[in-house]
Amino acid sequence: MAQGTVQVTHTGTSRWRRRTGEYASLAAALEAAGDGDVLTVASGTYRENLVVERAVTLRGPEGSPGSVRIAPVDGVPLTVRASATVLDLHVEGQDSAAPALLVEEGAPELCDLRIVTRSAAGIEVRGGARPTVRRCTVDNPGGVGIAVLDGGGGVFEECEVVSAGQAGVAVRGGAHPRLERCRVHHASGSGLSVTGEHSGLEAVGCEVYEVKGTGVQITGRATAHLTDCDVHRTTADGVTLDTDAVLTLADCRIHDIPENAIDLRSRSVLTLTRSTVRRFGRNGLSVWDPGTRVDANQCEIHDSTGDYPAVWVSDGATVVLDACRVHDVPDALFVLDRGSRVDVVDSDLSQVRNTAVSVSDGATAQLDDCRIREAATGAWFRDHGSGGTLANCTVDAVQTGVIVTKGADPTIERCTVTSPAEAGFYVSAGGRGSFHGCRVTGSEGYGFHIIDGCRTTLKKCRTERCSRGGYEFAEDGPVVEDCTSDESGGVRSAGQAAAPAPGVQKATQTVGLLSALPGQRAVSPDTETPTTTRTPTDVLGELDTLVGLESVKREVRALTDMIEVGRRRQRAGLKAASVRRHLVFTGSPGTGKTTVARLYGEILASLGVLEKGHLVEVSRVDLVGEHIGSTAIRTQEAFQRATGGVLFIDEAYALSPEDSGRDFGREAIDTLVKLMEDQRDSVVVIVAGYTSEMKRFLSVNPGVASRFSRTITFSDYLPEELLRIVEQQADEHEYRLGEGASEALLKHFTALPKGPAFGNGRTARQTFESMVERHAGRVAQLAEPSTDDLTLLYEDDLPELP
């Protein structure tokens, strides 16, 4: 047929302008047309399955867009297998097993099409096809909006998926399309889904919103590049990457997401540049698993709507933030687990309700030239193996600048903490750390507050205008070299000098505030203990990490809730219920009574009920003297040391033996009862001991019993809980349980006699220590032990049953 124009009427006939002829159907006209022919289709509904196999132009009448409906009863309404041009058609499909528009070959142009269908896919591109699709609309509540499969590709410009029963755009099987200025919304699955090795997607200036699944989902070694795209108002996560996926986001906006804004795991990699993440319900960035990595440059993460950290890194993942801003969030960065790492360079973390940087469970954080402002805690290195470096950072307007606890060992260099409400640097509970060239100015508490004899190293540090003192630590505390303090600010002395390391100048010569100033009394660490730097949520979180003790945790939380609500009622001008804070702890040794007492004191301090919340632990020998009058003095001294905190009396029943006679324990009890009444708002008293003995003690002394609000019972640990304690100990000391060890430990603890000598948690720890000793004896005989040899504990390392 010569090149020309065919006009197809709704009556089923076609008129050829140069050469006449009639066609029984539109399909027949297509069959007769040659390359370059133009077929103009008259308005109407065509119940045909059209196949375009030549480079023709198929279009509706000018001035009547959408007036031509291709709507067969089943099958594929329109199939394109050539570099044809299709314009201004309305395509309708009803076959749930077939697409409405199928492009199989060539590089056709598809423009101004409207696909309204309930098909497997609105538009499906497959094989070697590379269409250019412009200004097309897909409405397919029965399946995928646009599917590009099996090596297909093409460009989609200014297209819109207005609804989809599954994914809005699905790419798989090595396909690689490009989307420009497209909109995808109201999909029941993901907005954009790219799956499988060699599959890829490029999107520029696109918008994905109001989808019931994830906004953008990249999985199974697929790749995607999104530039100037907007993802918002999804039901699930905004963006997810899984299983070696690779995604680049540049100048994008991820916002108004109820779950994680961006979630990565399983060795996926994200490059994030000049993008904004805001208004998210869980994490802004949630990054999991070894090999998973995020590199973010000039990005902003802010305005969390939930209670989760803005950036969460765990299970060995890595995140790099360069020139980024994180603000208006509950917590900024949480990095957890051995192998996990966060590197933050030239970034701002501000307006953080809790902790700006939290490092725990052996993770690492490195911050260089960063600025932390307006947070409860600037950085908190929480436990054994956790560390990293803070260098050239400033921390301003926080409660506490840097906290180091439980064996954590960071390096802090040339950092400045300005105007902390409590302390510039706070180290406790076996924390370590090295502080070099650091400075604290304008603290309302101490500059450096180091307790519990922590072996921290301070070198060339300086404090200025710290209200309670520049430095506070015990004599067996940190190693101090060349540190100074500005005494002109009216700073009071606190504590004693640390013992200098060999060859180091004596601390009291370089740190002028470590010993008492003239005319002032040097305060002993036993009587001057720190105000808590943690929130009630933080302390209750530590309580929750303890193995077992579920009923105890409920009791403490209930009591905490009562106190907190009482405070709120008072602020509202209402009467608050009277809550007696003194407690009775009953249970066997090693069940965590002392640990819970310490945490309870810290909770009360964080609520403002107690001034400091420290724990003073005593027993009968500390309270009862050898002659008349000495008992009252000893008891008063112990009570005074506990002012502002908790007085914990272990084995309190020993103050009132069954055959008391002329025992002076009665004098201690009488003194305590009076002090508890006279100073009921300044000290909380906890009495503890075996369950049966404590019942007898309280029944014999009704004056004491009336002072306590409730009794909390600490049950013996179950074998499974003792096993968990050993597992925790092993993890903390970098050991692992080898094959069969867990089962053997469970049998060991089940068979262990539970008599008076049973130590519960203490027994579990002793069992672990015995295993380590036996392991050492075994491994010492090996000439060149492997890493597994050095870390694995086996059944043979278990001690024998008593």
Q: What is the pLDDT of residues 65-75, one digit of tens each?
A: 778 999 999 99
What radius of gyration, in Å, describes the C-alpha atoms of the chain?
Answer: 36
Strands (E), 407-494: 411-413, 416-418, 423-428, 434-436, 439-441, 446-450, 457-459, 462-464, 469-473, 479-481, 484-486
Task: Write down the pLDDT at residue 682.
Answer: 83
Angle at 565 between CA 564 and CA 570, to 5 degrees: 100
CA atoms within 13 A on the CB side of 2: 7
Of 689, 714, 739, the domain-final residue: 714
Angle at 663 between CA 662 and CA 668, to 5 degrees: 125
pLDDT average, residue stretch 649-655:
83
**How sure is the predictor about 475, in pLDDT bands with cuts at 50, 70 and 90?**
low
* 685 and 544 co-located in one domain: yes
Q: Domain holding 581: CATH number?
A: 3.40.50.300
When divided into structural domains, the chain yields a total of: 3
pLDDT average, residue stretch 737-765:
81
349-363: pLDDT as tens digits: 999 998 999 999 899
**How sure is the predictor about 238, in pLDDT bands with cuts at 50, 70 and 90?**
very high
Residue 247 reports pLDDT greater than 90: yes
pLDDT average, residue stretch 667-681:
79
* 460 and 574 co-located in one domain: no
Q: Taking a C-beta distance cutoff of 8 angstroms, is the pair 104, 114 a contact?
A: no
Task: Write down the pLDDT at residue 546.
Answer: 79
Residue 766 reports pLDDT greater than 80: yes
Whether residue 519 is contained in a domain is answered as: yes
Whether residue 309 is contained in a domain is answered as: no
Residue 133 reports pLDDT greater than 80: yes
Lowest mean pLDDT among 146-160, 254-268, 419-433, 601-615: 601-615
* 686 and 776 co-located in one domain: no
**CA–CA separation, 312 and 127 (whole Å):** 40
**How sure is the predictor about 533, in pLDDT bands with cuts at 50, 70 and 90?**
low
Tell which residue, 321, 318, 327, has the closest CA to residue 346: 321
**Residue 638, C-beta contacts closer than 8 angstroms, at least 6 positions apart:** 616, 618, 622, 623, 647
Lowest mean pLDDT among 330-344, 575-589, 668-682, 760-774: 575-589
Of 670, 699, 714, the domain-final residue: 714
pLDDT average, residue stretch 228-254:
97
Q: Which residue has the higher pLDDT, 661 or 509?
A: 661
Of 694, 714, 734, the domain-final residue: 714
Percent of the chain with pLDDT over 70: 87
Task: Write down the pLDDT at residue 7.
Answer: 58
Pairing status of strand 14-16 against strand 50-52: unpaired
* 651 and 548 co-located in one domain: yes
**How sure is the predictor about 156, in pLDDT bands with cuts at 50, 70 and 90?**
very high
- Written as one string, the DSSP assignment of 245-305 is -EEEEES-EEEEESS-SEEE-SS-EEEEES-EEEEESS-SEEEESTT-EEEEES-EEE--S
**What b/e readout covers 563-580, taking b as 16+ CB neighbours within 10 angstroms?**
beebeeeeeeeeeeeeee
Q: Which residue has the higher pLDDT, 219 or 641?
A: 219
* 621 and 707 co-located in one domain: yes
Whether residue 557 is contained in a domain is answered as: yes
pLDDT average, residue stretch 1-13:
47
Task: Write down the pLDDT at residue 625.
Answer: 66
Q: Domain holding 780: CATH number?
A: 1.10.8.60
* 562 and 690 co-located in one domain: yes
Task: Write down the pLDDT at residue 63.
Answer: 75
Range of the domain at 545: 536-714
Q: Which residue bears the tokens 């059209």?
A: 50
Mean of pLDDT over the chain = 85
**How sure is the predictor about 491, in pLDDT bands with cuts at 50, 70 and 90?**
very low
Whether residue 588 is contained in a domain is answered as: yes
* 546 and 624 co-located in one domain: yes
**How sure is the predictor about 506, in pLDDT bands with cuts at 50, 70 and 90?**
very low
Pairing status of strand 269-273 against strand 387-391: unpaired
**CA–CA separation, 730 and 162 (whole Å):** 55
Whether residue 336 is contained in a domain is answered as: no
Residue 244 reports pLDDT greater than 50: yes
Residue 580 reports pLDDT greater than 80: no
Q: Which residue has the higher pLDDT, 531 or 306?
A: 306
Tokens of 270: 């994200």
* 695 and 788 co-located in one domain: no
Tell which residue, 332, 224, 303, has the closest CA to residue 270: 224
**How sure is the predictor about 612, in pLDDT bands with cuts at 50, 70 and 90?**
confident
* 440 and 515 co-located in one domain: yes
334 Cα distance to chain centroid? 5
Task: Write down the pLDDT at residue 496.
Answer: 36
Whether residue 781 is contained in a domain is answered as: yes
* 517 and 588 co-located in one domain: no
pLDDT average, residue stretch 111-131:
96
Task: Write down the pLDDT at residue 270.
Answer: 98
Residue 15 reports pLDDT greater than 80: no
Residue 726 reports pLDDT greater than 70: yes
Q: Which residue has the higher pLDDT, 602 or 146?
A: 146
Whether residue 413 is contained in a domain is answered as: no
* 595 and 631 co-located in one domain: yes
Look at the pTM and tell me if it is higher than 0.85.
no
Q: Which residue has the higher pLDDT, 512 or 471?
A: 471
Whether residue 641 is contained in a domain is answered as: yes
**How sure is the predictor about 673, in pLDDT bands with cuts at 50, 70 and 90?**
confident
Q: Which residue has the higher pLDDT, 531 or 700?
A: 700
Residue 541 reports pLDDT greater than 80: no
**How sure is the predictor about 702, in pLDDT bands with cuts at 50, 70 and 90?**
low
Residue 240 reports pLDDT greater than 90: yes
pLDDT average, residue stretch 371-396:
95
Task: Write down the pLDDT at residue 518.
Answer: 25
* 561 and 611 co-located in one domain: yes
Residue 176 reports pLDDT greater than 80: yes
270-313: pLDDT as tens digits: 999 999 999 999 999 999 999 999 999 999 999 999 989 999 99
